Amino acid sequence: MFLEDKYINPLTDFGFKKLFGEEVNKDLLIDFLNSLLPKKHTIKDLKYQQNEHLPSTEYDRKAIFDLYCESASGEKFIVEIQRAKQNYFKDRSVFYASFPIQSQGKRGDWDFKLAAVYTIGILDFVFDEDKNKSDYKHTVQLKNQKNQVFYDKLTFIYIELPKFEKNIDGLQSKIEKWLFVFKHLARLNDRPKALQEKIFTKLFTAAEIAKYSKQEQEIYEESLKHFRDLKNVVDTAKEEGKIEGIIEGKIEGIIEGKIEGKIEIASQMKKKGFDIKLIAEITGLSEKEIIAL
């Protein structure tokens, strides 16, 4: 074990799902989402849905979300961490958003009324077209030629974390506090005075590595190793000035559905004798896929 940090890194697969994907911590996810959403869609409660969405036919591609949930009033939310650039990222976002839209279809006499669908992307990179702009939050909706919203029930919200540079003393809004947590939690030794609200008290308690079981710490260690390996690939590519050529193949496999990373973690967990159902829950792979490894 090489874990030395006091708190887990929320940008790892394990860290993100531990803090925001468990029923006992859903108030953390609710508070974070409410800091992003318009007041008309304020979430009072939510329930987690199956994060693997199967295609309509065996020939279509399935989608595996980091988190998929539904509010008490019916809005659907896809929440994902994206650690590096990938080809056709925006196409992938639109494709994934189509699943919660199609799932609302009803047989028989149906008037086609849909609940709102939100895709929330926490990005550890910057869009090329926005690299010279300071805005770190992008809210995207369908608009007409007069820049008026044509359809307000499909919304994409992207957060470019590298652009968020406020220090702890400069935090003002709730969203700024959450973004500070995403960027710096793993490097903190104690809870800062600026994060004294009740919700952050719970967050820091839930993020304390020492309170995890040995099994959870081992799973987190594998997830952290994968996160660091990926970060090293990206950092090296940037330093060499070959970002597009170097990561095109490697990142495509790791990030596109995160399949290779999930398989690597699943393989390590299987070797150590972890339960197949637990491995499936952590990685998002099916039990059949894990058994076949």
Q: Domain ranges in the chain?
A: 1-211, 212-293
- Distance (Å, whole) CA 97 – CA 155: 9
Look at residue 259 in the predicted model and tell me its pLDDT. 63
227-284 tens-digit pLDDT: 887 777 666 666 655 444 444 444 444 444 456 667 777 787 787 777 787 777 777 7
Look at residue 210 in the predicted model and tell me its pLDDT. 92
Question: Residue 33 in contact with residue 59, Cβ under 8 Å?
Answer: no
57 band by pLDDT with thresholds 50, 70 and 90: very low
Average pLDDT over residues 127-148: 92
Sign of CA dihedral 81, 226, 291, 20: negative
- Distance (Å, whole) CA 249 – CA 208: 36
Look at residue 262 in the predicted model and tell me its pLDDT. 74
pLDDT reading at 122 higher than 90: yes
User: How much of the chain exceeds pLDDT 70, in percent?
Assistant: 84
87-117 tens-digit pLDDT: 888 998 999 999 999 999 998 889 999 999 9
At position 198, the amino acid (one-letter code) is K
Sign of CA dihedral 179, 184, 189, 194: negative
Phi then psi dihedrals of residue 212, to 5 deg: -80, 155
Look at residue 61 in the predicted model and tell me its pLDDT. 46
Look at residue 128 in the predicted model and tell me its pLDDT. 87
Question: Which of 159, 153, 122, 163 shows the shortest CA–CA distance to 139?
Answer: 159
41 band by pLDDT with thresholds 50, 70 and 90: confident
At position 90, the amino acid (one-letter code) is K
- Distance (Å, whole) CA 160 – CA 153: 23
7-32 tens-digit pLDDT: 999 998 899 999 999 999 999 999 99
Look at residue 65 in the predicted model and tell me its pLDDT. 64
Beta-bridged to residue 247, according to DSSP, are none
